[in-house]
Structure 1
Amino acid sequence: MDTENEITLRLRFHKDIKENSASLLLKFENYSKIKSDDFTIKTSDNHIWLDIIASKRKYWTPHLHLELEPKGEKSTHIRGLYGPDPTLWTFFMFLHFIIAGVFLIFCAIAYSDYILKNSITIDIVIMALMVLFWLLLYYLAKSIRKKGHPQMNELEKYFHSILKS
């Protein structure tokens, strides 16, 4: 998967397999019972999570979420989503909402100051800083994804090895 030209931060993929979802889920459940030196597998209904073991995890370590969708009796559509640690993702979303909230508040204040014929310089500067912080968050998320790219490749290889078994 070529991730260098992707704009999205959470990479997605789709795959059709000529095997029913029950047997695929059974494969992943069997692999989850085998202790791996590098990976853990969790399953719930038609959802599967592949993670790097805790001792090898860094803050940029991705995880892989798979959703199995039956397409008839002998084929399955797999939706995959690579993402950061849920705690890190929640923190990033929190920061995005704070930045957006501050931007909107100062946008309203700037409008009020403009109507009242007061100076709007400070309001515009703060709004520009919020845009700069948002761009900084985006760059930071891209660099975190780049650091996690080798582990993402490991997760993908492990996923394909389970499918081939």
Structure 2
Amino acid sequence: MSIQVVQGDITKRTVDVIVNAANSSLLGGGGVDGAIHRAGGKEILEECVKIRNQQGGCQVGEAVITTAGQLPASYVIHTVGPVWNGGVKEEDVHLKNCYRNTYLLANKYKVVSIAFPSISTGIYKFPKPLAAEIAVSETARYVETHLLENTIKKIEFICFDEENYSLYVERLKCYL
């Protein structure tokens, strides 16, 4: 099992799955979501529209999977992180569910490598230190509890900025 922190652009990662910090409409937006939709092309949006028509979008903490379109990946898993409201609306629980549901879906599709952005820390204003702690602790929990049936061998946390990169590197040291 390889777990890495990389500073860069998630749309350039060559992995089986790129995780999208999506909004509940699944129709693209700003930040990571917009970048993934732009780089991946219309195929991603077309599949998101089908999912939306079937189930009405994606709820906070849930995850859905689509093609990766023109991205250097096989799939995109879209997960909807929580908007930070001061921690009074179980935002931490919802963010944990983003990682749990993404890992379960990835394993169902026999994914070997996966790249995560920092979910909810942009426009949704989730505190970056807490988001990094949740991402790394949920990853460690998943790896420990699903060791036998886990297909994932490579996990990357892709950080766009230096602050997130430093936070993830620091948190990851606690779990190695």
Q: TM-score range by the shorter chain?
A: under 0.3
Q: TM-score, normalised by structure 2?
A: 0.25
TM-score, structure 1 length as denominator? 0.27
- Higher Rg of the two aligned structures: 1
